[in-house]
């Protein structure tokens, strides 16, 4: 089997006249008929059929990252079709995937090499075994989380100001692992969270603490996961809305708490919670999209505020907030995609949060979670163009996956599972609830292809709650690395809660929806 890569540039006259130059790229294994539909994708045939300029590289593609293509081509539009690639399935020697370092090692280049060495050892060992032995240790992760719920380990006492976060991380982990929440847990969760709500609106990190946007987001998500009427009804929506408006500044940004710092997380946390509780209004969102646009940098990343370096967590918050408002067009999406793809590590397969930083399991979601949103945005944009062009051939092959879903699963399953249960940042670290939650959320994002139903989205005037319900798990496009039982539940690309829990809460606060 020859691995191949095809890049094609459009010479379509009507597109050119509108200033659109389209590059196509396909990669995979030759003979895979899915690649370009009904024809075997030999470059000759491909070229003849669409009379595009074709470059053909007879190369091993598993190591060849999407961002290299962007760097070379800088096209205006992207069309992708990628199968899972993975690190282990490549025939390339793992050692060749190490980051090139020059003769002057620095602290950070040494740390990078150390990380690569430890990941490489694990990959070498895994490569020699049957693929089915790559297993998600579901039971031990469930036990880890449940033990934590019973009695938080002593080091977490410092996180007393983050009780709703702990509730959310733990409940979400159990939920996507498929563990049924016990009645006892449900009651405990509701009583813990209800004590943290302030009469002036919002939730604090501990009893008597002032309300905080991030903590409120976590509290609302935790209540959504609990998913009972009793849980929903503890939310004082009127006070919550008034408090949201107090966090809002004139330029459209949000502070994290009254008198606190401005941060793009504020916008996301407020808008996600407001979406789930039916509190998104023009008053709440006025100017926010324009402010978030200013947080995007020259390299495509999104920083915490204008002028600050892009970061995985901020980028997710910025993009998800834009998606809630239906304002993603204000961002430079191809540039953000370029930035995001460049953060998937060549050897490790996981993501770093910023360029030149180490891989970290939690970015499996913060950066990995950008892709379902980006794929939806690009598919939607192309779909709108297709209506005009009636070019269905194009729409079939768009945006199946814009990151290496298999490689990310390899990193999470082989390098991020603590033998004692729970998941970790990188090898040799110990597990915590934060990394357990976000490694699992990233795993879910890589296994499932959660897509946006843009046919239904064409209905005019959909509120943000309705738009949140348009995400669905495309069952035919799942990729489950290793043992088939590794499949966990799909998570919502905006709220990071299991899909049915989002639906239930939205139907509670908005009324029954037909889709």
Q: Which of 148, 425, 469, 496 binds Zn ion (CB under 5 A)?
A: 425
Alpha-carbon separation of residue 347 from 86, 108, 375, 401 (angstroms)? 10, 17, 24, 19
- Pick 179 or 410: Cβ nearer Zn ion: 410
Instruction: Output the smallest distance, CB 149 to Zn ion, in A.
Output: 21
Distances 503 to 21, 446, 452 between C-alpha atoms, Å: 40, 22, 14
Q: Would you say 26 or 316 has its CB closer to Zn ion?
A: 316
Q: How many residues does the chain have?
A: 515
Under 8 Å between Cβ of 471 and 452: yes
Q: Is 106 exposed, middle or buried (0-12, 13-18, 19+ CB in 10 A)?
A: exposed
Residue 66 burial (10 A CB sphere; 0-12, 13-18, 19+): buried
Decide: is 263 part of the binding site for Zn ion (CB under 5 A). no
Residue span binding Zn ion (CB under 5 A) among the ranges 102-110, 315-323, 357-365, 383-391? 357-365
Dihedral sign for Cα 110, 114, 116, 117, please. Answer: positive
DSSP structure string for 180-217: PPPHHHHHHHHHHHHTTB-TTSSBBSSTTPPB-HHHHH
How near is the Cβ of 173 to Zn ion at its closest, in Å?
15
Comparing CB distances to Zn ion, the nearer of 382 and 491 is: 491
Sign of the alpha-carbon dihedral angle for 211, 213, 217, 220? positive
Q: Which listed range, 32-40, 82-90, 361-369, 488-496, lies at the site for Zn ion (CB under 5 A)?
A: 361-369
- Candidate ranges 2-10, 136-144, 188-196, 417-425; the one touching Zn ion (CB under 5 A): 417-425
Count CB atoms within 10 A of the CB of residue 36. Answer: 22
| Of residues 263 and 425, the one with the C-beta less far from Zn ion | 425
> Is there binding between residue 362 and Zn ion (CB under 5 A)?
yes
Cα distance between residue 240 and residue 314, in whole Å: 23
Give min distance, CB of 361 to Zn ion, in A: 6
Q: How far is the CB of 429 from Zn ion (least distance, A)?
A: 9
Contact region with Zn ion (CB under 5 A), list: 38-46, 125-133, 323-331, 418-426: 418-426
CA distance 314 to 316: 5
Task: Please tell me the distance from the alpha carbon of residue 21 to that of residue 29, in angstroms, as a whole number.
Answer: 26
From 90-98, 232-240, 355-363, 463-471, give the range in contact with Zn ion by CB under 5 A: 355-363
* Residue whose beta carbon is closest to Zn ion: 362
Site for Zn ion in 277-296 (CB under 5 A): none
Total interface residues for Zn ion by CB under 5 A? 3
**DSSP bridge pairs for 24:** 8, 79
DSSP at 360: -
- In whole angstroms, the minimum distance from the beta carbon of 430 to Zn ion comes to 12
Residue span 23-42 as binding mask against Zn ion, x where in contact by CB under 5 A, dash where not: --------------------
For residue 498, list its beta bridge partners. 491
Helix (H) or strand (E) holding 22: strand 22-29
Compute the least distance from the CB of residue 310 to Zn ion, in Å: 17
Residue 371 or 438: the one with the smaller Cβ distance to Zn ion is: 438
Contact flag: residue 360 with Zn ion (CB under 5 A) = yes
CB nearer to Zn ion: pick between 78 and 168:
168
Give me the least distance between CB of 218 and Zn ion, in Å please.
16
Give 195 or 429: the residue with its C-beta nearer to Zn ion. Answer: 429
Q: How far is the CB of 137 from Zn ion (least distance, A)?
A: 20
Q: Does 432 bind Zn ion (CB under 5 A)?
A: no
The catalytic residues are: 311, 354, 357, 360, 362-363, 425, 432, 435
**Rounded CA separation 78/411 (Å):** 27
CB nearer to Zn ion: pick between 41 and 313? 313
Q: Interface with Zn ion by CB under 5 A: which range of 256-264, 356-364, 476-484, 493-501?
A: 356-364
Is residue 343 a contact residue for Zn ion (CB under 5 A)?
A: no
Of 331, 317, 410, 320, the residue nearest 364 (C-alpha): 410
Binding positions for Zn ion, rule: CB under 5 A: 360, 362, 425
């Amino acid at each position: 089997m020859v691995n191949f890569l095809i890049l094609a540039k459009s010479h379509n006259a009507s597109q050119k006249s509108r200033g659109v130059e389209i590059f196509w790229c396909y990669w995979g294994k030759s003979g895979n008929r899915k690649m370009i539909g009904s024809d075997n994708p030999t470059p000759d045939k491909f070229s003849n059929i669409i009379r595009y300029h074709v470059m053909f590289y007879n190369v091993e593609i598993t190591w060849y990252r999407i961002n290299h293509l962007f760097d070379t081509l800088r096209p205006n539009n992207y069309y992708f079709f990628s199968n899972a690639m993975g690190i282990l399935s490549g025939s390339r020697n793992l050692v060749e995937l190490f980051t090139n370092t020059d003769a002057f090692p620095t602290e950070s280049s040494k740390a990078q090499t150390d990380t690569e060495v430890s990941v490489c050892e694990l990959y070498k060992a895994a490569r020699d075994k049957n693929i089915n032995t790559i297993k998600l240790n579901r039971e031990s992760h469930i036990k880890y989380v449940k033990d934590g719920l019973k009695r938080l380990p002593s080091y977490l006492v410092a996180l007393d100001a983050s009780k709703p976060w702990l509730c959310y991380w733990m409940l979400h982990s159990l939920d996507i692992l498929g563990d049924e929440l016990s009645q006892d847990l449900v009651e405990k969760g509701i009583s813990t969270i209800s004590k943290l709500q302030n009469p002036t609106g919002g939730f604090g990190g501990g009893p008597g603490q002032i309300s905080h946007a991030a903590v409120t987001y976590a509290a609302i998500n935790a209540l959504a996961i609990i998913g009972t009427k009793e849980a929903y009804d503890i939310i004082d929506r009127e006070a919550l809305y008034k408090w949201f408006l107090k966090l809002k500044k004139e330029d459209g940004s949000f502070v994290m708490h009254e008198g606190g710092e401005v941060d793009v997380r504020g916008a996301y946390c407020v808008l996600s919670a407001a979406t789930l509780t039916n509190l998104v209004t023009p008053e709440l969102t006025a100017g926010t999209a324009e402010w978030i646009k200013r947080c995007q940098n020259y390299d495509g990343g999104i920083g915490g505020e204008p002028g600050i370096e892009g970061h995985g967590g901020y980028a997710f918050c910025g993009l998800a907030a834009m998606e809630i408002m239906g304002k993603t067009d204000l961002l430079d999406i191809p540039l953000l995609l370029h930035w995001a793809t460049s953060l998937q590590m060549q050897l490790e397969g996981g993501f770093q949060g910023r360029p030149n930083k180490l891989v970290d399991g939690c970015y499996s979601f913060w950066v990995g979670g950008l892709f379902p949103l980006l794929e939806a945005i690009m598919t939607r944009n192309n779909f709108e163009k297709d209506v005009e062009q009636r070019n269905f051939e194009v729409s079939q092959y768009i945006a199946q996956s814009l990151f290496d879903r298999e490689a990310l699963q390899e990193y999470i399953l082989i390098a991020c599972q603590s033998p004692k249960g729970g998941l970790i940042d990188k090898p040799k670290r110990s597990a915590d609830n934060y990394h357990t939650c976000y490694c699992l959320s990233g795993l879910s994002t890589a296994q499932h292809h959660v897509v946006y139903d843009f046919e239904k989205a064409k209905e005019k005037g959909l509120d943000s709650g309705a738009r949140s319900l348009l995400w669905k798990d495309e069952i035919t496009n799942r990729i489950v690395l290793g043992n088939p039982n590794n499949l966990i539940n799909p998570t919502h690309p905006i709220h990071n809660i299991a899909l049915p829990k989002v639906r239930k809460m939205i139907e509670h606060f908005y009324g029954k929806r037909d889709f």
